[in-house]
Structure 1
Amino acid sequence: MSNETNKKEKTLTKQEKTQEIEIPETGSGSGQKLVEERLKKLQEIRDMNINPYPYKYSINSNSEKIKEKYSHLKPEDHVKDIVKVAGRIMLLRRMGKVAFATIKDGQGTIQLYLRSDDIGAEKYELLKKFDLGDFIGAEGDIFRTKMGEISVYVKTFEMLCKAIRPLPDKFHGLKDQELKYRKRYLDLIMNPESRAILEKRMKMMHAIREFMDKQKFIEVETPILHPIYGGAAAKPFKTFHNDLKMELFLRISPELYLKRLIVGGFDKVYDINKNFRNEGIDTTHNPEFTMLEAYWAYADYNDIMKLTEDLYEYAALKVNGTTKSTYKGNEIDVKAPWQRITMLDAIKKHVGIDAGNMTKEELKKFVEEKHVEFNKEDTWGNYIIVIFEHFCEDKFIQPTFVIDHPEESTPLCKRHRKDSRLIERFEPFCCGMELANAYSELNDPIHQRKLLEDQARQLRAGNEEANPVDEDFLEAIDQGMPPTGGLGIGLDRMAMLILGQESIRDVILFPTMKPETQGQKNDKEN
């Protein structure tokens, strides 16, 4: 692009120079005053015939590259290599005709050194219009200061963006937990540790795909909008398609679609997907969450257990360089193999009763005597589930596969090959948190229809987490599905464990939040 064209981009039209500036709502007090001061500077910049929001700035380096390339420089060493860098101003000190600025780019921070004698008095005057949070582009050479900091000796600079809202106090950062989640952009600007955690999550996601690809699984995409929901015990979100005039549901699980692919002839498939469940929010639950679901033809839940622990180990090593992390004050080690225990043995160990040899009436009496809440159907298996959930889940600190659950726990799993009351299902637990769910998948079409019809009966009876009958899925199973092992891993919880974060909100870029009222905004800003 020619210099003439660049000049045209920087030159404002009369209309742009005189455009009316609306003052945004910020509440009252000091916050509003700071915004008004910035808006005044913005108009002054436009009056100088400078565009405070140019279209482009071509950089040729960044903070990380500069610090690495010139790390050999000694204090006051100076090289003539010219660099062009850009970033957000995080620190700005003006001392007469000299100024220092620390800018933050996508890789880190770098210091700028600016002198009026080098830049020119008129250009240096523009520096007075800059505030913390503004974006600057700078061109110059490299030196190390007397204090030992690698810096850019600026020859010229440009304003790239005038921010009209001030950043949070630089000395205290952004410490309000709710504000961190609600305004993640401020959290990322002010808290390097938050950015580091979220970048590690992205690295974990890459490692998961790398592992699954190495295992010869094929990544696929399944629908988010479902005409019939299923694959999990959950209450769905509803929507409506106007043109088709039909009710649709946001996906609660991709399971039934992935099984259709196994029926269709794929042997190994996985889907990394967003699921949506209309349920409560707490430190381990978000209504929108990320899952890995995988299906492996001719495998069973024993194969899937090994796949699960190997995947965790691989991801942890890729992200942290170790299989160990600290979660809720506990040193956790995800190195394979993990411990394995049946649900009945877990109850025997942690509750002290031999539930496998107790009748339904004996289990019911135990639950009533212990004042355990029970709101399921009156069956032997449901009492086993409730006792385990109430007394055992929080006992597992190190990753442990809890295997062989009662048949009542899901309608999509094979009966246990040795005990018809149970199914070949596992859930791994760690620090009381469920990490995954997996089965030897049910492929008997007669038994599958019976169980799904029973689910539909429960739904009609008022169980909001039961599923309707998906006739198309049943037709697919009628066509024949080979023996299959299936797996669902909550990747947000996986990130929590590997990265040592106690809240799911700390590993999700934009967790679900209730909208903030104007009154709440004003209270915080005042």
Structure 2
Amino acid sequence: MAGESDHSESRPNPNSGPVDVPRIEKLHKIEELGLDPWGGRFDGHQSVAAILEKPCVSFDENPTEVVRAAGRIVLRRNQGKVHFLQLWDQTGRIQIMMGQAQVGELGWKLAQLLDLGDLIGVEGVFGHTRKGEPTIRVSELTILSKSLEPHPEKYHGLSDIEYRLRHRYLDLIYTPETMERAKKRILILRTIRNYLDAQGYMEVETPVLHTIAGGAAARPFATHHNALDIPLVLRIALELHLKRLLVGGIEKVYEIGRVFRNEGISHKHNPEFTMMELYQAYGDYRSMMDLTEGLMVACVDALGGGREIPWGEKTVKFEPPFERAKYADLFLQHVGCSMDDPAACLEAAKKHRIDPTGKEHDVLVNDLFERCVEDNLVGPVFVYDYPAALCPLTKRKRENPAIAERFELYVHGMELANAYTELNDPITQEATFARQLAGLKDEDSMAKMDHEFVWALRHAMPPAGGLGIGMDRLIMLLTNTQSIRDVILFPLLRPER
């Protein structure tokens, strides 16, 4: 956690009133020294990690390696005419030593006005103390920004989860795991982009504001455009615009973007989340299985910890080929009856306390699958061939139209990916939409037909495979994080009172 602090520097509260008075006084004293307490350009500095990689000899041997570093003070220890500070940047921490003789009169006066949380720049000789601690012996001290609020204490730190989420900037500084997860998220997203780019996919951006919410069954966030005087919604999926691009001749296309669903919050759900969707002309759901498998393995390999990774008290082995299992076979195994037997499914629903009132048979089948099957899926396993009624945008199997060519990838009961052989028949698509719209409430995402999308299909969309992956859930799994709030830098929170 944070470094040492005087007792006046307790955990900060942004609603506690005026800023800490002694820090304001120090700010004015810095100004009186003729220095700018908000700093400026500081060229030529290296990261802490880069400095720590340099050869390091004892100060008794008079090292000559001069370095420059910039960062935040997270620990301090004053010993008369020598101050020991710990400087932090996003790559690590390093000790710095300031003596009155080395930094001069002005530098020494400035040193007395520093607090935990201040940003400083230093230049000095790099070596190690007699205790072997790598240290910068400072000869030049620069103030880069004065912290007017106290930072967390060493022993209390940021143990309050709610506080950490509301003050992510402090969490990144004082909780090393948070910074490490943020870096891994960036690495995973970069790996996905590099992998898809190498496969010939083109990354695009599509609209966030839609006139009709489509591509998924979810409740959208509604808004209004004043100049055009029209209602709009925030997108709930990326699908329908990407398919328009397939019609336009972009044969391999993907987007990584934010989507918004006006629904509940849980350890696996945030109303605003990151989705990756891609489409490949002339492919199908089996080609999407191969692509998904390669993509997952590439991400695991990029993290460098081997292909068997921890997930809570369990492990996941991402060694291809992944298991593949039919939806109907898993249903029979874990529910105990055929999904094609309505009477048996009703009995199973009663047994598992699922209310069947007003539910279509396939919806009841899916409820039973979620209740009885998903938690038994260790994986990674591709569950494929879903009931067609659950998949309005999916091509049916030619030999059995009741089954849709769809798969979902599961790991320890958590869905990570969803893929289809895409429906490119505009006549069937329009009829499917019409059946789904019947009786739906106006606020439902599918309550209006996207005629423009159907019109685009009428100009011939190539047969294609499509894939969607929730990035936040994937990052949860690959970083062994149990809550989605910990992999999103700024999750949605209830406002503070």
Query: Is TM > 0.5 for Structure 1 vs Structure 2?
Result: yes
2:8 aligns to what? none
Select 2:49's aligned residue among 64, 77, 86. 64
1:95 aligns to what? 79
Give 1:26 shift. Answer: 4.7
2:355 aligns to what? 373
Give 1:448 shift. Answer: 0.4
State yes or no: 1:450 paired with 2:435.
Answer: no
Give 1:388 shift. Answer: 0.5
Write the mapping of 1:44-83 to structure 2, written as runs, cut at 5 A: 44-71=29-56, 73-74=57-58, 76-83=60-67
Secondary structure of the corresponding residue to residue 421 of structure 1: strand
Q: What amino acid does structure 1 have at the position aligned with 2:374? A: E
Give 1:25 shift. Answer: 7.7
User: What is the distance in 1 between the residues matched to 2:39 and 2:328?
Assistant: 67
User: Higher helix share goes to which structure?
Assistant: 1
Q: What amino acid does structure 1 have at the position aligned with 2:405? A: E
Give 1:79 shift. Answer: 2.1
2:323 aligns to what? 339
Select 2:400's aligned residue among 419, 422, 425. 419
Contact 1:76/1:143, CA 8 A, preserved across alignment = no
Write the mapping of 1:39-438 to structure 2, written as runs, cut at 5 A: 39-71=24-56, 73-74=57-58, 76-356=60-340, 358=341, 360-374=342-356, 378-438=359-419
Q: What amino acid does structure 2 have at the position aligned with 1:438? A: A
User: What is the distance in 2 between the residues matched to 1:379 and 1:34?
Assistant: 60
Secondary structure of the corresponding residue to residue 43 of structure 2: coil
2:9 aligns to what? none
Q: What amino acid does structure 2 have at the position aligned with 1:99? A: H
User: What is the distance in 1 between the residues matched to 2:416 and 2:60?
Assistant: 54
1:521 aligns to what? none
Contact 2:90/2:179, CA 8 A, preserved across alignment = no
Contact 1:77/1:143, CA 8 A, preserved across alignment = no
Contact 1:309/1:336, CA 8 A, preserved across alignment = yes
User: What is the distance in 1 between the residues matched to 2:164 and 2:355?
Assistant: 36
Question: For residues 319-340 of structure 1, what are the alpha-carbon distances to aligned partners after superposition, in whole Å with 9 as ceiling and x for unaligned?
Answer: 2342221112111112222111
User: What is the distance in 2 between the residues matched to 1:33 and 1:457?
Assistant: 58
Q: What amino acid does structure 2 have at the position aligned with 1:270? A: Y
Q: What amino acid does structure 2 have at the position aligned with 1:421? A: A
User: What is the distance in 1 between the residues matched to 2:345 and 2:247?
Assistant: 40
User: What is the distance in 2 between the residues matched to 1:309 and 1:463?
Assistant: 37
Give 1:467 shift. Answer: 4.3
Secondary structure of the corresponding residue to residue 298 of structure 2: helix
Q: What amino acid does structure 2 have at the position aligned with 1:173? A: G
Select 2:469's aligned residue among 466, 475, 489. 489
Instruction: Compute the RMSD of aligned alpha carbons.
Output: 1.9
TM-aligned CA distance change 1:499 to 1:467, over 3 Å: farther
1:471 aligns to what? 451
Question: For residues 89-122 of structure 1, what are the alpha-carbon distances to aligned partners after superposition, in whole Å with 9 as ceiling and x for unaligned?
Answer: 0111111111111101232112111111222344
Contact 1:78/1:142, CA 8 A, preserved across alignment = no
Contact 2:214/2:445, CA 8 A, preserved across alignment = no
Q: What amino acid does structure 1 have at the position aligned with 2:195? A: F
Contact 1:78/1:144, CA 8 A, preserved across alignment = no
Taking structure 2 as the reference length, the TM-score comes to 0.93
Larger mean CA deviation between 104-113 and 189-198 belongs to 104-113
Give 1:289 shift. Answer: 0.7
TM-aligned CA distance change 1:392 to 1:88, over 3 Å: same
Give 1:369 shift. Answer: 4.1
Q: What amino acid does structure 1 have at the position aligned with 2:292? A: T
User: What is the distance in 2 between the residues matched to 1:263 and 1:490?
Assistant: 25
User: What is the distance in 2 between the residues matched to 1:373 and 1:427?
Assistant: 25
Contact 1:402/1:428, CA 8 A, preserved across alignment = yes
Question: For residues 142-175 of structure 1, what are the alpha-carbon distances to aligned partners after superposition, in whole Å with 9 as ceiling and x for unaligned?
Answer: 2211011121111121211110111111233211
TM-aligned CA distance change 1:408 to 1:465, over 3 Å: farther
Contact 1:230/1:467, CA 8 A, preserved across alignment = no
User: What is the distance in 1 between the residues matched to 2:346 and 2:22?
Assistant: 70
Question: For residues 497-517 of structure 1, what are the alpha-carbon distances to aligned partners after superposition, in whole Å with 9 as ceiling and x for unaligned?
Answer: 111111111111111111111
Q: What amino acid does structure 1 have at the position aligned with 2:463? A: P
Give 1:463 shift. Answer: 7.5
Question: For residues 461-517 of structure 1, what are the alpha-carbon distances to aligned partners after superposition, in whole Å with 9 as ceiling and x for unaligned?
Answer: x67353420011001111111211111001111111111111111111111111111
Taking structure 1 as the reference length, the TM-score comes to 0.88
Select 1:35's aligned residue among 20, 25, 31. 20
Question: For residues 66-101 of structure 1, what are the alpha-carbon distances to aligned partners after superposition, in whole Å with 9 as ceiling and x for unaligned?
Answer: 211124x24633322322211100111111111111
TM-aligned CA distance change 1:321 to 1:458, over 3 Å: farther
Q: Percent identity?
A: 40
1:512 aligns to what? 492
Unmatched 5+ residue regions in structure 1? 1-23, 518-526
Contact 2:103/2:138, CA 8 A, preserved across alignment = yes
> Matched residue pairs, number?
486
Contact 2:121/2:143, CA 8 A, preserved across alignment = yes
User: What is the distance in 1 between the residues matched to 2:103 and 2:383?
Assistant: 68
TM-aligned CA distance change 1:451 to 1:174, over 3 Å: same
